Amino acid sequence: MKTLTTLIAFAFAFTAWAQNPPAKAPASNCYSDWYSLFKERGANPIADGMQDVIIAFRSSSYSECFMGRISVLGGKVNGRLQVQKTDGTYEEWDKRVHEAYFDTNGNIKNEKMLEITNGMTAEFLITEGEYARLFFYKFVADKPKANKKAPSPASLVKN
């Protein structure tokens, strides 16, 4: 009888354990990860020419990041954004900046939107209702060196 009770208890515990799925790790937020890195470390000045970027999008429920490139001139983005395809080629990005940023002639209302500060563009709204930002990842500043901890006195002083 005691063995039967133990067996039933074990079967019940095993059934309860088997029905609980393992806890999932929280989803990564690439937009926040890149933003935090650049806010923490800063960036070196961005050189003129075609530069590689991370194209980061976010909404209230998710974020996505893609590889891309864009032309830079005088510390400002200059030209059309291109996204990298899986085969390594680039195509013009099909998402567009929201019309609220443009005047009636189709020009950017505020030139500050084109500036690159701390290795990042300003955040901007796109027509799909998501927010986007470009990160110039090749220009992120080096990680600061940590201070070396002192060893114990006994390991340094021999007499």
List the chain domain ranges: 30-139
Handedness of CA 67, 120, 62, 102 (dihedral sign): negative
Distances 136 to 40, 42, 97 between C-alpha atoms, Å: 14, 11, 19
Tokens of 154: 């006994």
| Tens of pLDDT, residue by residue, the chain (159 residues) | 554 444 444 444 444 444 555 544 445 699 999 999 999 999 999 999 999 999 999 988 889 999 999 999 999 999 899 999 999 999 999 888 888 888 888 888 788 889 999 999 999 988 888 999 999 999 999 988 889 999 999 888 887
Tokens of 145: 């060196």
- At position 71, the amino acid (one-letter code) is S
Handedness of CA 7, 9, 13, 15 (dihedral sign): positive
Kindly report whether the global pTM for this prediction surpasses the value 0.75.
no
Alpha-carbon distance of 114 to 103, in angstroms, equals 15
Alpha-carbon distance of 18 to 33, in angstroms, equals 35
